[in-house]
Structure 1
Amino acid sequence: MTTATLPPGPPTPRFVQGAFALTGRLAALRRLRDRYGDAFTVDTPLFGRAVVISGAAEIKQLFTAGPGLVENLEPNLGRVLGPGSLFALTGEEHLRQRKLLVPPFHGRRLAAYEKIIEEEAVREMASWPQARPFPVLPSMMRITLNAILRAVFGAEGAELAELRTLLPPWVAYGSRLAVLPIPRTDLGRWSPWGRFMVFRRRYDAIVDRLIDKAAGEDLERRADVLALLLRSRYDDGSPMSRGQIADQLLTLLAAGHETTATTLAWAVERLRRHPGVLRDLAAEADAGGGALREATITEVQRTRPVVDLVGRKVLVDGFRLGRWTLPKGYTVLVGISLIHDDESLFPRARAFDPYRFLDARPDLYEWIPFGGGRRRCLGAAFATMEMNVVLRTMLRDFTLVPTAAPDERRRSRGIANAPAKGGRAVVRRRGSRTAASASAAAGGAR
């Protein structure tokens, strides 16, 4: 057996490290990085003994390692989203499924979804109060949920209404279950996982109805992802099963709903505290531009990543990762927030400075809010487009009032780290043209 060489780490017991991880994960990670350097070993109830890395070279090596060396580490996400989810699949089966899911999220397909997202943004923002504080996170949650239900699920009518009611509490519940240890015994229907499966059965029944409806329509005329998945075929000509489709639709919802909405809430929180950037963004939106808005989205994701860790499991004994030799079965965690704070990569790293990305796109092994390698978030392009459209709509239709209030603290919602006050905003509507368009959109709500 190969001798392991592991980075140093705290000697405190597992339950103590777990408590720190639950109560202040980012602060704990930063303290460990300051004490031990850009790699250290931890021991927590969820991951066991694990190596945390935040050096760019080692992160790139991990993300580009072959599937025979390391594999995805999302044990609870796979259980939450189903056995057919990309988070649960490994090896060739993961690549086989991913191949079918790539086409809807690239190129001209994305343009077809922009109108849906703008409609949902205008409709939701029509209800925003004027000149008094309110949290934008619930609104952003509704926008991203409705956009995904229409663009991805192709839902309308009764199914759209049912999913709007079912999914928000289920996603929130599953997000919290995903960061808890998996129980060793089945505790029945009244246990947390048992209650979760009650939601799942209701969801599967709705998706079955959506598939039945789609089967009676001309799928070639539909642009939603459900229709594309029903038309897709594996290399051997076989279609996806209903269970696989249900799992993948849920995966796309989970990956693109809460995280995107939370990033938009952070964008509002950041912009209110940087009035110069806000003025430039409003002027750019009036002129029909978008370069600074795209750079702002990139900087929000750098300074306020909603997910701060992504992991891999070592499959072979003696896996060499930079300076370290890791044993089989070990977990490697990538500190997303830690590398985003690296002064050697991002000068004045703690400052919010979108202009740094105006003339330079970030390296995808140094800026990693979507993960990296063959496990990089499939919906990254969709999420980026969605955030761009929502911010463009807000800047066009509203004046966002700056504030001198302290930064909102991070609050864990399970998987995602959200602004503690929900991204509080004060807005004023801009002009009669936008008021009329908002009123028309609100009147057209389903």
Structure 2
Amino acid sequence: MATTVTLPPGPSAPRWVQGGYALALPHRGMRRLRDRYGDAFTVDVPIFGRAVVISDPAEVRQLFQSGTEDFDNLERNLGRVLGPGSLFALSGEDHRRRRKLLVPPFHGRRLAAYERIIEEEAEREFAGWPQGRAFATLPSMMRITLNAILRAVFGAEGAEFAELRELLPAMVELGSRLAVVPVPQDGWGRWNPWHRFRAMRRSYDAVVERLMARAEREGGLDRRDDILALLLQSRHEDGTAMSRSDIADQLITLLAAGHETTATTLAWTVERLRRHPAVLRELVAEADAGGSALREAALLEVQRTRPVIDMVGRQVRADSVRLGRWTLPRGYAVLVSIALVHDDDSVFPEARTFDPYRFLGTKPDLYQWIPFGGGGRRCLGAAFATMEMNVVLRTLLRDFVLEPTGERAERWHSRGVAGAPARGGRAVVRRRTASAAPSPGRTTAPGAPARVPGARA
């Protein structure tokens, strides 16, 4: 085993200066550091401390394929706000066992059952959209994804649905900010935001407890499709059931991982498509003809060019470990810069060009296209989120004309964990009429090119 530590170069400014730089210029700052130090550099920032940032695909692949004896869960992560039973908080064998229980809901029959729920929520939200004037789509996308998760994951309805819909947006937003800002959990008296967050969490736990009690009282769990019902029935390998607190932690984890991130990607999708009218025309024609290949490719490209999560990371667990060119000591964080990988011309030619056609007829390399992370800790709900975005975009294209724009691209704005379009993914729409739809069978819009070279992001 290698013992001589070899770290990439990096800035020497104090931790608080580097932390302020990271918060003020998260995207441009990463690019500037790459331009100065190369595709790997060492930083010292609040929350993570001394960390190595990587973006070389070979080193990213090695990290994601490494065993937990070398690299495992970050010590400081979203588990601080989601609870000790959350997948984000678990490591090693505990994480493997819990993840195994959560795989079934996101595949096969159950995933197909959720599609209609998402379409219903999209139709309900879109019915209230203004026509002919600009508005931000992000709030609408937030409501769609929240309502879909409350139904598909929590199995909520009635009073509990209304309570969670009122409580969770503020709770998730506050938790998202607390996860990335080094606020002490004690001290500051009543001004400490952690006190407010904990009060929200107590309200959340009480509602989820009522949902679980009702589900068990009414029975028929095996006939329900929601994930709460599945977790109540699930058993560990030794036959024991999940605790009520662990179920509550997992439900809020699934919501946190799939609500804001999915909604933000949909807002970015609107922002991107309005600025690429040729792609938009062909997407409409494809949807009218019943196709989906270009739509799926466009969503892949939106996530490549506008990833809503900046980083995914691991912690060094071995005394020292070799990662590509570097030898890292125990305790160091290794952070993969998703944006830098996606922005690399050697990985994605003309990387700053928005070009969905690069993904037509091919699947992305999951060690290079990494909006959901990778390896054994890749986002469990990736398939659910992908399906949800596909259904929402399909419904939008079917029911509305999305007006193109020549306005400048919306800037990136930090919402804590997620990065959103600064103006909320503004749109101008008109409801479609029967005469506006292309004739049946047409698969490409008039004048739509096979590719859109040079369409800069």
TM-score of the two chains, using structure 1 as the length reference? 0.95
Contact 2:47/2:76 (8 A) holds in 1: no
2:192 counterpart of 1:204 = no
Q: How does 1:305-320 map to 2 (within 5 A)?
A: 305-320=307-322
The 5 A counterparts of 1:167-316 are: 167-181=168-182, 183=184, 185-187=186-188, 190-217=191-218, 218-316=220-318
* Pairwise CA distance, 1:364: 0.2
Identity %: 72
| Contact map agreement 1:104 1:225 (CA 8 A) in 2 | yes
SS of the counterpart of 1:75? coil
Q: Which residue of structure 2 lines up, in the alignment, with residue 439 of structure 1?
A: none
| Number of the residue aligned with 2:335 | 333
Counterpart of 2:384 in 1: which secondary structure? Answer: helix
User: What is the CA distance between 1:241 and its match in structure 2?
Assistant: 0.7
User: Residues 320 and 326 of structure 1 are in contact (CA less than 8 Å); yes or no, is this contact kept in structure 2?
Assistant: yes
Does structure 2 retain, via aligned residues, the 8 Å contact 1:120–1:147? yes
Q: Contact 1:259 / 1:306 at 8 angstroms: preserved in 2?
A: yes
How far apart are the structure 2 equivalents of 1:220 and 1:309? Answer: 38
Contact 2:121–2:148 (8 Å) recurs in 1: yes
Q: Which amino acid aligns with 2:360?
A: L
Native 8 Å contact 1:187 1:194 kept in 2: no
Describe how 1:418-433 pairs up with structure 2 within 5 A: 418-431=420-433
Residue 399 of structure 1 aligns with an amino acid whose one-letter code is V
Equivalent residue for 1:128?
129
Which letter maps to 1:317?
D
Which amino acid is 2:151 matched to? R
**Aligned residue number for residue 416 of structure 1:** 418
Cα distance in 2, alignment partners of residues 74 and 401 from structure 1: 46
The aligned counterpart of 1:441 is: none
- Tell me the distance in 1 between the aligned counterparts of 2:214 and 2:335: 43
What is the deviation of 1:46?
2.1
Q: CA deviation at 1:186?
A: 4.9
Q: Distance in 1 between matches of 2:368 and 2:77?
A: 26
Q: Alpha-carbon deviation of 1:192? A: 1.4
Unaligned ranges ≥5, structure 1: 435-446
Aligned-pair Cα RMSD in Å? 1.4
Q: Deviations over 1:154-190 (max 9, x none)?
A: 0000000000000001100000000012527455554
Deviations along 1:288-328, one digit per CA (max 9) or x if unpaired, are 00000000000000000000111111111221000000011
Distance in 2, matches of 1:419 and 1:119, equals: 25
CA distance in 1, matches of 2:95, 2:413: 32
Contact 2:43 2:50 in 1 (8 A): yes
Cα 1:119–1:411 shift into 2, 3 Å: same
Pair 1:384 & 2:386 matched: yes
Measure the CA separation in 2 of the matches of 1:332 and 1:383.
26
Range 12-21 or range 396-405, more displaced: 12-21
What's the CA shift string for 1:126-166, capped at 9, x where partnerless? 00000100000000000000000000000000000000000
Offset from partner CA, 1:96-154 (integer Å, 9 cap, x none): 11010000001221100000000000000000000100000000000000000000000
SS of the equivalent of 1:52 reads: strand
SS in structure 2 of the partner of residue 350 of structure 1: coil
Structure 1 residue 76 displacement after superposition: 4.1
Q: 1:96 to 1:186 in 2, by over 3 A?
A: farther
Distance in 2 (CA, whole Å) between partners of 1:242 and 1:189 is 29
Write the letter of the residue equivalent to 2:32.
Answer: R
Q: How many residues align?
A: 434
- The residue correspondences of 1:29-48 to structure 2 (distance < 5 A) are 29-48=30-49
Partner of 1:149: 150
The CA distance in 1 between the partners of 2:215 and 2:186, in whole Å, is 39
* Runs (4+) off by over 6 Å: none
SS at match of 1:342: coil
SS at match of 1:216: helix
Classify the secondary structure of the residue corresponding to 1:329.
coil
Tell whether the 8 Å contact from 1:76 to 1:182 is kept in structure 2 after alignment: no
Letter of the 1:283 partner, please give it: A
2: CA distance between counterparts of 1:188 and 1:64? 44
How far apart, CA to CA, are the structure 2 residues paired with 1:286 and 1:383? 23
Q: Is the 8 A contact 2:60 2:336 kept in 1?
A: yes
SS at match of 2:53: strand
SS in 1 for 2:251: helix
Which residue of structure 1 aligns with residue 449 of structure 2?
none
**Aligned equivalents of 1:13, 1:382: Cα separation in 2:** 41
SS class of match (2:242): coil
Distance 2:435 2:257 in 1: 35
Aligned equivalents of 1:101, 1:70: Cα separation in 2: 22
- Alpha-carbon distance between aligned partners in 1 of 2:80 and 2:38, rounded to the nearest angstrom: 34
In the aligned structure 2, how far is the partner of 1:255 from the partner of 1:77?
10
Show the counterpart of 1:2. 3
Distance (Å, rounded) in 1 between the aligned partners of 2:139 and 2:284: 23
Structure 2: which 5+ residue stretches go unaligned?
437-457
Normalising to structure 2: TM-score of the pair? 0.93
CA distance in 2, matches of 1:330, 1:211: 40
Indicate the residue corresponding to 1:438 in structure 2: none
2:78 alignment partner, SS class = helix
Question: 1:13-43 CA distances to partner (integer Å, 9 max, x unpaired)?
Answer: 2222111101111101101111111101111
Is the contact made by 1:76 and 1:177 (CA closer than 8 Å) also made in structure 2? no
For the residue of structure 1 that corresponds to 2:25, the secondary structure is helix
Contact 2:185 2:192 in 1 (8 A): no
Q: Structure 1 315/172 Cα, relative in aligned 2: closer, same or farther at 3 Å?
A: same
Give the letter for the 1:115 counterpart.
R
SS in 1 for 2:389: helix
Contact 1:308 1:337 in 2 (8 A): yes
CA–CA separation in structure 2 for the residues paired with 1:361 and 1:17: 37
